[in-house]
Amino acid sequence: MRRSFASLKMTVQIASRIYGARHPSSGMDQTMDFEISPGQVKSLQTSGETFTLLDVREAWEYEAARIAGAKHIPMGDIPTRAHQELDPDDHIVVVCHHGVRSLTVTNWLRQQGYEKVQSMRGGIDGWARTVDPKVPLY
């Protein structure tokens, strides 16, 4: 049976409530949400927080519109490159076009032991519409 993206998103949201990760700046057992808003990501940047912004879109999408400082690893390359290029102890924010692929990658990375991974809700489209209108829409 094939699952819809809405079904996948609901599954990921439920899993995030059950299996959340510890927040990086706290010794308490707080859970880190699966999703983070573009505004919250901008706040992390502005405050100087250390995190990896991981763009999982295809090369042509990355060339069309990008967020400065993002690390580009297309979604299809994540299984072969993640363990070599990403630190499992880092806070990682995953971004795609609208937030669907980034949720999938976030879920996969969490299953691999990356506990501090979040998907940017709305993707680069949400970023361009709410944070930086200079980033092109496509």
Q: Catalytic amino acids?
A: 96
Non-local (6+) Cβ contacts of 54 within 8 A are: 70, 71, 73, 86, 92, 93, 94, 95, 105
Asked whether the beta carbons of 70 and 54 are under 8 A apart, the reply is yes
User: Which SS3 state, helix, strand or coil, does residue 94 take?
Assistant: strand
Nearest to 57 by CA among 70, 39, 45, 44: 70
